[in-house]
Amino acid sequence: MSWETGDHGTPEVRPAADLPRRTVVRPYMLTRGRTTSSLGVFELHAPVLALVVPGQLGRATPEDRMIVELCQTPMSVAELAARLHTPVGVVRVLVGDLVDARMVQVRQAGDRAEHRDVRLLERLLEGIRAL
């Protein structure tokens, strides 16, 4: 049931350029059909940081393992999606599960209105000027 053989054709008949290193599993199979996380919609630029090292994961899916590996240093939701070759909606659900499991944490900037915070905007300006 998880193999993509339906109306989109088999991966073999696709042009090579159209074949990212994605699994042949339909993207939302990875989330068992769920399209939202219990924690709401993470912003694209929200950074994710692992709270555990991959060795602490026990039995985990390859995707969860990769997220924990990539997030040993903070990495945004959008960047995770790009590096996993997975739609961002799927990554949000997976990250939400990992937050629930206390394997990662996410910082949601919008919740804190950080983009309108004078102190942070001053810091941003200073940082861009120094580039």
Partner 1 sequence: MHSEFAPPAPDTVPAPPAPGPTGLPVSMKIVVAGGYAVGKTTFVGTISEIEPLTTEADITVESLGVDFAGGVSTKTGTTVAMDFGRITLGPDMVLYLFGTPGQDRFLFLWDELVRGAVGGIVLVDTRRIEDCFPAVDYFEHLGIPFVVAVNLFNGVYRHHPREVREALAVPANVPVVLCDARNRLHVKETLVLLVEGALRRAQMAGAAV
- The residues binding partner 1 (CB under 8 A) are 26-28, 33-35, 41, 43-47, 49-53, 56-61, 64, 72, 74, 76, 78-79, 81-83, 87-90, 97-98, 100-101, 103, 105-110, 114-118, 120-125, 127-131
The SS3 of residue 102 is coil
Question: Which of residues 21 and 116 has its CB atom nearest to partner 1 in the complex?
Answer: 116
Question: Which of residues 11 and 74 has its CB atom nearest to partner 1 in the complex?
Answer: 74
Helical segments of the chain, H only: 62-70, 77-84, 88-100, 118-129
Question: Which of residues 23 and 98 has its CB atom nearest to partner 1 in the complex?
Answer: 98
* The token pair that represents 27 in the structure block: 């993207």
Listed residue (45, 53, 49, 54) closest to 74, CA to CA:
49
The rounded radius of gyration (Å) of the Cα atoms in the chain is 17
CB of 125 to partner 1, least distance (A): 5
